[in-house]
Amino acid sequence: MSAWNVERVLSVRHWTDSLFSFTLTRDQSFRFRSGQFTMIGLRVDGKPLLRAYSMVSAAWEDTLEFLSIKVQNGPLTSRLRHIEQGAEILVGRKPVGTLLPDNLLPGRNLYLLGTGTGLAPFMSLIRDPDVYERFERVVLVHGCRFVGELAYGAMIEQLPADAFLGPLVANQLIYYPTVTREPFRNQGRISTLVESGKLASDVGLPPLDPASDRVMLCGSPGLLADMTRYLDRNGFQEGSNAAMGAYVIEKAFVEK
Each residue's pLDDT tens digit, 194-251: 999 999 999 999 999 999 999 999 999 999 999 999 999 999 999 999 999 999 999 7
Does residue 254 form part of some domain?
Answer: no
Q: Are the CB atoms for 14 and 67 separated by under 8 Å? A: no
Please state whether beta strands 47-54 and 37-44 pair in parallel, antiparallel, or not at all (unpaired): antiparallel
CATH code of residue 86: 2.40.30.10
Do 170 and 144 have their domain in common? yes
Do 71 and 130 have their domain in common? no
For 21-34, how does the pLDDT look when each residue is reduced to its tens digit (9 = 90+)? Answer: 999 999 999 999 99
Please state whether beta strands 137-144 and 63-69 pair in parallel, antiparallel, or not at all (unpaired): unpaired
Do 86 and 143 have their domain in common? no
For residues 144 and 150, give the distance between their C-alpha atoms in angstroms, rounded to a whole number: 6
Residue ending a domain, among 74, 92, 110, is 92
Do 86 and 109 have their domain in common? no
Domain count, the chain: 2
Residue ending a domain, among 31, 58, 92, is 92
For 66-83, how does the pLDDT look when each residue is reduced to its tens digit (9 = 90+)? Answer: 999 998 888 999 999 999
Cross-sheet strand order for the sheet of 213-218 = 173-179, 137-144, 109-115, 213-218, 247-249
Does residue 255 form part of some domain?
Answer: no
Q: Are the CB atoms for 24 and 87 separated by under 8 Å? A: no
Q: Are the CB atoms for 149 and 220 separated by under 8 Å? A: no
For residues 191 and 234, give the distance between their C-alpha atoms in angstroms, rounded to a whole number: 13
Range of the domain at 216: 101-249
